[in-house]
Amino acid sequence: MTVPAIKTNKYYVKTSSLRPGDLILWKKDITKNGRKYYLAAHVGIYIGSGQFVHTSSDKRKVVIDKISTSPYRDGQPYYVRWSRK
């Protein structure tokens, strides 16, 4: 699923207060041919205590990392959840 598709879901909510189960997307902005694109460089699931579960391309397996020290920290974390409210 792409970031634009996530944003068009009627239950999508961008949040700044994480709860276990929220998605974390690391956003990286790139400019190509004079247009700015917002890409999700990596996706994980927040599990609490500043940690997330994700598939590591380096380790080639599912791992748990801290958000603050993950290899994806050079991107901007972007937190989303779905709410039926």
Per-domain boundaries in the chain: 3-82
pLDDT in tens, 22-64: 888 777 776 778 877 666 667 889 999 989 998 877 788 999 9
Main-chain dihedrals φ then ψ at residue 4, nearest 5 degrees: -60, -35
pLDDT of residue 84: 64
Q: How confident is the model at residue 75 (pLDDT cuts 50, 70, 90)?
A: low
- The amino acid present at 16, given as its one-letter code, is S
Domain spanning 3-82, CATH architecture: Alpha-Beta Complex (3.90)
Residue 70 makes CB contacts below 8 A (sequence gap 6+) with 52
Distance CA 67, CA 50 (A): 6
